[in-house]
Structure 1
Amino acid sequence: MPHKPRTISGVEVTPLCDAVGPMGPTIRRPLTEMFPGGGLADGPWILHFHCYLLRDPAGRVTLVDTGIGGADSPASSWAPVPGTLPGELAAAGVDPAEIGTVILTHLHSDHASGAVVEGRPLFENARYVLQQAEADAAQGAMLDQILTPIKGQLQVVDGDAEVAPGVHVHLAAGHTPGHQIVRLGELAMTGDLVLHPAQVADPSIHYVYDDDPVKAAATRAEVLGGLRAERAVLATAHFDDPFLEL
């Protein structure tokens, strides 16, 4: 079942839990290797895979990220497929056809694979919002199986933009070339800006699967510093609790 929603700036925000589980054996590594210098104890890292559903008073519906997808998704080699996003949406009382905007924070398989089912866009009436730098860097399965099927509905932005009333995207590169976060009032939906709570306390802690760990750490420090000054609320992708108040 979806988590309890919050109302932010008049918009109902519902965290959807697409899956819970560890990374599969193909890329599983000790936490000390995945977050070098983080001082974390070795042990299994159980990830929660969150997407976010936004419903405003005018009836507009926006989805942030689409999860890991089906059993045949590009995430199947390492993530706990299939994801349960369709069921989470149904439990929240939303049909995929009602969603007008889908924001993809980036094209890693656990954030974007649920956008396509059986070769067709799941959200048939939606614009899919992606940063230009992310689209330009797409390759392999994410290009062929995800980006190509949605290209007719793709809205590419370059940097900061308002993509729905009151909903803004902000380029936060480093984890991937076009990684973006999503802002709604005091809420920041952070994608993979932070992957482990240790990085909130110390943004300099690298993550081994960042495309550019140095840039990712600098971006994380800058963005979290600004959000902390605002006393913002984070809506995270992989923490146990989806909401974190700074």
Structure 2
Amino acid sequence: MTTRRQALSLLAASAMLPLAPRIAFPAAAFSQVANSGFYRFMLGDLEITAISDGTMPLPLAKIYQDEAEDKLQQELDANFLGTKPHVSINAFLINDGKRLVLVDAGTGTLFGPVAGKLISHLANAGYQPPQIDAIVLTHIHADHSGGLTVDGIPQYPNADIHVAESEYDFWINRSARPKQLQELEADFTRLKASLDPYIKADRIRLFKENTPPLPGFDSIPRPGHTPGHSSIVISSKGQKLVIWGDIVHGDYIQFDDPDVYVTFDVDGHEAVKTRAIALEEAAEQKYLVAGAHIPFPGIGHVVRDETMYGFIPLNYAE
């Protein structure tokens, strides 16, 4: 039995508890582990891995053309994107059980540290550059070919590079009009440097319009963004994925208003015509699309909606 004296002692002790020293626990430190940068799913018998090269904050309201900047910014704000939305740079790896084929190769060091993450994310996905058998370029812009070569060293020593003949003629053989040659001189120089080690090693493979870049892959000419811009098609067990390249930039403005083009388009008006065809076809045929600049992983379906078109991301599955 607790005596009166013991009860008073317990009360006194409890009264002193707020004055007792407390054990301090450190706050949780921010993690230094980066995002893994890949997303994998099966398309029939094909393993598809979307790989992020990073994201770039861009003033999209200024980059989009054929619409008032303030109106464009209002639409971006309505979708919580702000004045410099982060635009994804996506590449796609296809494993058919015999080959590893990479579609587009990221930026390398050309765009600084915000991008150029494709090879590290490739490693996170379980693969190394020497394992890549072939690389198909949707086009030769720096954010698609810059990662082929860094400081003069080819990053994919065992890969053949497949690119549309018309695209190669424009950027490497310089078949452009004189005015374009002058306007795009910096691009011509750095894009030639990205492909040069593969040219010297005789690893460039050119394909014509509407012909397979390599067995098991098809191509669709989608000119405008660049003259030989191509979408790459893969299929398995009745499932189809069209890797778009740069049909759209972002997942709002150009779906709602396909007539908006971007300053990066070599021929903006032709790009508008091409986008109209690509969007209508994707919505009609209901196949999966993969966009280089749709928020990572950039894969989903195109649907018609009350404005024009909408993009429905692929449902996440482990």
Both proteins in one fold, TM over 0.5: yes
Moved more, 36-45 or 105-114: 36-45
| Structure 2 counterpart of 1:140, from 189, 213, 218 | 189
Counterpart Cα distance in 2 of 1:32 and 1:21: 15
Distance 1:33 1:48, change over 3 A: closer
**What amino acid is the match of 2:107?**
I
**What amino acid is the match of 2:92?**
Y
Distance 1:3 1:147, change over 3 A: closer
Deviations 1:190-221 (A, max 9, x none): 11111122212332222222110110010111
Say yes or no: does 1:66 pair with 2:105: yes
**What amino acid is the match of 1:85?**
L
**Equivalence for 1:222:** 277
8 Å CA contact 2:170–2:227 kept in 1: the answer is yes
1:157-168 matches, cutoff 5 A: 157-168=207-218
8 Å CA contact 1:31–1:45 kept in 2: the answer is no
Deviations 1:160-193 (A, max 9, x none): 2223442212221100111111111221111111
Shift of 1:40: 2.2
**Equivalence for 2:220:** 170
Shift of 1:227: 1.7
**Equivalence for 2:55:** 20
> What is the DSSP-based 3-state SS (H/G/I as helix, E as strand, rest coil) of the residue aligned with 1:86?
helix
**What amino acid is the match of 1:16?**
I
- For structure 1, the 5+ residue unaligned runs are 24-28
Deviations 1:17-70 (A, max 9, x none): 1112214xxxxx4515524327422611211111111111x3311001110102
Shift of 1:125: 1.3
> What is the DSSP-based 3-state SS (H/G/I as helix, E as strand, rest coil) of the residue aligned with 1:44?
coil
Q: TM-score, normalised by structure 2?
A: 0.69
Counterpart Cα distance in 2 of 1:104 and 1:45: 25
**Equivalence for 1:80:** 114
8 Å CA contact 1:9–1:184 kept in 2: the answer is no
> What is the DSSP-based 3-state SS (H/G/I as helix, E as strand, rest coil) of the residue aligned with 1:162?
coil
**What amino acid is the match of 1:142?**
L
8 Å CA contact 2:52–2:89 kept in 1: the answer is yes
Say yes or no: does 1:238 pair with 2:293: yes
**Equivalence for 1:126:** 159
Shift of 1:101: 1.1
8 Å CA contact 2:139–2:229 kept in 1: the answer is yes
8 Å CA contact 2:211–2:218 kept in 1: the answer is yes
> What is the DSSP-based 3-state SS (H/G/I as helix, E as strand, rest coil) of the residue aligned with 2:264?
coil
- For structure 2, the 5+ residue unaligned runs are 1-35, 75-82, 172-187, 303-318
8 Å CA contact 1:13–1:52 kept in 2: the answer is yes
- Over aligned residues, Cα RMSD in angstroms? 1.9
**Equivalence for 1:101:** 134
Q: TM-score, normalised by structure 1?
A: 0.87
Q: Percent of counterpart pairs with the same letter?
A: 27
Structure with larger Rg: 2
| Structure 2 counterpart of 1:192, from 246, 259, 282 | 246
**Equivalence for 2:73:** 41
> What is the DSSP-based 3-state SS (H/G/I as helix, E as strand, rest coil) of the residue aligned with 1:163?
coil
